[in-house]
């Protein structure tokens, strides 16, 4: 007869343990947010034009992210910190830029995991330095 209450208590503990672990988490919310999004990409607009949208896609997939500018134009000379979700990127990426004139520019095969700051130069080409973390 005593086996049933003991068995019920064990089941209760197994069911309650995940909820208790969540409540007792030692990671502060700010650190959790940083882990999810990763290090942002600092984007500098030196193109001489206003940029309306910036999108990212894995090279060759042509499946674009949401607008990384979040519907806010980036004027010439301004910078933006873009959440590119580095944690989800596996290899080379393409970046699509849409200017106020309606013109589009696509930079192909960028090693984005090694780029932390990129500039849209007047000639339309990207300016960046590759930095290999842990090297």
Domains of the chain, by residue range, sit at 38-128
| Cβ–Cβ < 8 Å for 107, 56 | no
Question: What architecture is domain 38-128?
Answer: Sandwich (2.60)
Check residue 106 and give its pLDDT: 97
Token pair of 18 as six digits: 């995940």
Closest CA to 113 of 132, 94, 95: 132
Helix (H, G, I), strand (E, B) or coil at 22: helix
Q: Cβ distance 116 to 106 under 8 Å?
A: no
**What are 68-121's pLDDT values in tens digits?**
999 899 999 999 999 999 988 889 999 999 999 999 999 999 999 999 999 999
How confident is residue 132, by pLDDT bands cut at 50, 70 and 90?
A: confident
52, 100 contact by CB (below 8 A): yes
């Amino acid at each position: 007869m005593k086996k049933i209450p003991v068995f019920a208590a064990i089941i209760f503990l197994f069911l309650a343990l995940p909820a208790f672990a969540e409540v007792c988490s030692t990671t502060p919310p700010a650190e959790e947010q940083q882990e999810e999004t990763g290090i942002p990409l600092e984007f500098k607009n030196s193109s001489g034009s206003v940029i309306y949208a910036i999108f990212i896609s894995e090279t060759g997939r042509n499946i674009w992210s949401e607008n990384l500018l979040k519907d806010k134009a980036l004027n010439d000379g301004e910078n933006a910190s873009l959440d590119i979700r580095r944690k989800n990127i596996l290899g080379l990426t393409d970046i699509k830029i849409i200017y106020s004139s309606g013109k589009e520019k696509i930079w192909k095969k960028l090693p984005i995991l090694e780029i932390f700051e990129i500039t849209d130069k007047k000639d339309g080409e990207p300016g960046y330095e590759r930095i290999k973390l842990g090297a």
